[in-house]
Amino acid sequence: MEQVNDFVYLGVIITKDVSCDEDIQNKISIASAIVGKLGRLWRDKNISLTTKVRLRESNVLSMFLYGSDCWTVKKEQEGKMLSAEMSWLR
């Protein structure tokens, strides 16, 4: 069998040192791409704020938090996640 440093299993990046840095960064980039693709929707005045919040929860947050139950989050990573979420809300 080939020994690897990291691999993707069920959408979660598993690394040799069991660090979740790569997985968190990957999830942030995926969620940011989703927010970018929905840019016209966020600016649309005909869609209610409630609908936009529901879309954010169902599309962005669900993709970002998938597999997060196995993360061991450090202060630095928590700051990255909070700053990413604030940029999505802007």
Report the C-alpha gap between 10 and 52 in whole angstroms.
28
pTM of the model: 0.78
Mean pLDDT of all residues in the chain?
85
12-56 residue pLDDT tens: 888 888 778 888 888 889 889 999 998 898 888 999 999 988 988
Of 21, 54, 17, whose CA–CA distance to 38 is shortest?
54
Report the C-alpha gap between 66 and 27 in whole angstroms.
8
The answer to whether 24 and 77 are in contact (CB under 8 A) is yes
Structural domain spans, the chain: 6-89
Given this model, what pLDDT does residue 22 score? 83
